[in-house]
Structure 1
Amino acid sequence: MDSSTTLIAITIAVALLFDFTNGFHDTANAVATAIATGALRPKVAVAMSAVCNLAGAFVSVAVAKTISGGIIDERAGIRPPVILAALAGAVLWNLATWLLGIPSSSSHALVGGLIGATVASVGLQGVNGMAVVGKILVPAVLSPLIGGVVAYAATRAAGRLSGPERGAGRDGRAGRGTERAGGSRARAGQVLAAALVSLAHGTGDGQKTMGVITLTLVTAGSLPAGSAPPLWVIVTAGLTMALGTYTGGRRIIRTLGTGLTRLGPRQGCVAQTSAAAVLLTTSHLGFAVSTTHAVTGSVAGAGLATPGGDLSRTTVRAMLVSWVLTLPAAGLVAALAVLLTEQGAWGQDATAALLLCATLAFWARSRRTAVTARSVAPAAATAADTAAATSAAGSTAAATATA
């Protein structure tokens, strides 16, 4: 195998590593509230989410085209070493925020990596600024706001129609009786809503890896510019994300399920349905919207609309800091990685080796403070657990600020 073929193979392998981290990083977006309210057991929830993620990968390729040819100008001289560096930045940011239990955007980590690597390699002319603003930055601001407003209004309307359902509050001491009173219909609705969010996640985020692999093949001359993802790319990316989803991502499930606010079954159903509507609509339009932003906004909106509900200021602050830093942080790491990947075959091999070592180091560090399925189940969602989650969230603000 010649050096160019080896580089393409390494880049595709790292793209699939990103896809895997995206799967376990963003599992919480679909199933956190369903687990927190007892609608689904953790293992059942992640298995269902994995299947729906796989199905979602086959729904559309509009977002993949935005990634492969919308944000980055394929004719600006972008080559596979640049994409490898971009993926390195995205993977490292995903692993760091996962270890700290922060619901950060895998989508924005990938976009930040692509922009940073491209600018470092060929300059600003390699980036389509209008596409970045119109399909990345504007949706990044609007998606949590729209999800929050829709969830707030729907929660208030549901309360007027069927009576109040008080939130549990972050201390976990109130709302357990109302949670049981929500009945099987609310829980069944929440299961369906969780499936819809998982489908939307596969439709949106699964396409991002397809787009990166397609961009790699285009820049290597294996596909013509403007090509849609080949079938093998769709299948491979879908299966990899499903596998990553099945591993769980329990750290972020704990933060999003109980660290931000507490929801009853009806509120959780409204929040997830609102998020699914936003995500499926934006994916159809080709906007690279963050699943994390849409779901978090919807959960916050449902929590604020609930009598007795509140939000953890510590968690909100840490999440906002992480959201703001995602694009520039991933871009900076990618820009530095370009200095190595453009040195030739040895630099590209070194980048892949360093990324593998970093991945193993993050995994080993996570074993010191393992989060089990029992830790995210409702019975275990005590004040101590919530304090641990919000403490981890709070540490991210300091950690990212000094990074």
Structure 2
Amino acid sequence: MKASILGIGTELTDGQIVNQNASWISKQLKDAGITTTSHLVVPDERALMREGIEFIAAHGDVLFITGGLGPTSDDFTRDIVAEWAGLPLKFDETSWKHVNERLTSRGYVVKDIQRQQCYFPEGAKVLFNSQGTANAFQLQVHGKTVFVLPGPPREIEAVWGSSISFWLDENTKHLDPRITRSWDTMGVGESDVAVIAEEVLQGVDVEKGYRVHLPYVEVKLSYLSSREKEMEPVIEKLSEALQFCTIVRDQKDPAQHFAEIVKPIQSICVIDEVTGSFLMNRLMPVLRTYMSEQMWSFSKSRAVKSPADLHLHVLPKDEHSCEVSLEYRGRKIKDTITTPYKTANMRERRHQYMAEMALIFWIKNLQ
């Protein structure tokens, strides 16, 4: 079973926002055993929208169309989908009731323009949207299963949880899902990592991939779940070969892992005199998510004094090494991080390496 995803909105093609919806949907589909063949975005232009639908229909069994279900004049996704399907639009009273209840409960006056959100192609299954006024819908047409979803990510997640996940459970039981195993390495170049992996995998029928996402070089293998037993010796051999430079496995994110660990702690002070903004940029997004009620601070100077429960420091030793420490509940632990990047033009890479290794050190000693 293959899927294809179309994002609709001039804000996408103009570069105003990034199409995170396609990435999120593809991840859910992969977990269910469905391969995504394409991501496409088109502006709010009728001809291009129609061409976009025809393109994804040619490349997928299950189609996902996001955006353009709102109440304004540039929201006409439902019209183009209905036109492509050869179906008339029908007004849905239940959706109109939903629009009225949601808006009036929030103190808004319901306007007649909102009615356009309540039209759906004849025979479509309306999918309730608990996070917005625009309900989604599902169609079986031209031999395809089509899901048409609103644009805001949280609304897509709401519809997914209430409707699409159940469809996936029922319709993917027969599939042999693809498994991806990965090794995130540091301190070794992409070509060097590739030489090691290729030697181990010589003669092995498996889909291989390499990805640089600094400071990591990722090695990944993908194969069908039915081959898991067969692949176990290969995974073990590759793990041994890459052990000297592997930091994390299977797409685990140290920053997120760190945030999960420190979530119960009420206050944190991070002092970083080494990595510039790299450590702060890694931690800020996850701390906002996991520690919205707690106190946390960043400083570039140890002169700052803080009564925080947990103190985390990254302090310089010399150009190629730093001291990393944590102090928590009367316990103080420290270690030295030495970077493998020695040349003058690798200064930025050194800082990235030290930031990531500091995270690893703190995770190890806080678990």
Shorter chain as denominator, the TM-score bin is under 0.3
Structure 2 length-normalised TM: 0.21
Instruction: Specify which structure has the bigger relative contact order, considering alpha-carbon pairs within 8 angstroms and separated by 6 or more residues.
Output: 1
Relative to total residues, which structure has the larger strand share, 1 or 2? Answer: 2
Structure 1 length-normalised TM: 0.19
Relative to total residues, which structure has the larger helix share, 1 or 2? Answer: 1
